[in-house]
Amino acid sequence: MQPRLSQQEQRALVRAKRAVRCLPFRRRFYEELEQEALSSTQLAARADWSVLSQQRLSANHCEDLLIWLIQLGVLRREVDGQGLTERVRLTPLGRVVLSEWSGEIPRASLPSRLRHWVKQHWPRL
């Protein structure tokens, strides 16, 4: 039996699920981040990018998406002896979000993607 989530935690979970469904990353991307930390530069330079994303991403665009997922609590920055690094890893919330789907992450509908885009770029609306 799972512990009961507060209203704030439920909203965070819904927001994170929507983001994961709306962004171009595939399930394999999140699975790799569960195993090892990666940076946006490393992700953009990979030859097997189509296994990780539905579209080719530049390092800058990838970094923007990683920052958004960090803000939502799905990812976190990796820490080493010097402090925070540019690499990211999956959070416990990210694991909960991924547990919703047994296979590939289903794509969100067009209205849901538009709503997500507005929330991402104009969060105060």
The model's pTM is: 0.86
Per-residue pLDDT for the chain (125 aa), expressed as one digit of tens each? 556 778 888 888 998 999 999 999 999 999 999 999 999 999 999 999 999 999 999 999 999 999 999 999 999 998 887 877 889 999 999 999 999 898 999 999 899 888 888 888 876 65
Give the range of the structural domain holding residue 55, as residue numbers without chain letter: 7-120
The answer to whether residue 71 is domain-embedded is: yes
Separation between Cα atoms, residue 81 and residue 61, nearest integer Å:
28
**37: its two tokens:** 């930390």
The answer to whether residue 14 is domain-embedded is: yes
The answer to whether residue 101 is domain-embedded is: yes
Q: How many domains does the chain have?
A: 1
CATH number of the domain enclosing 20: 1.10.10.10
The answer to whether residue 1 is domain-embedded is: no
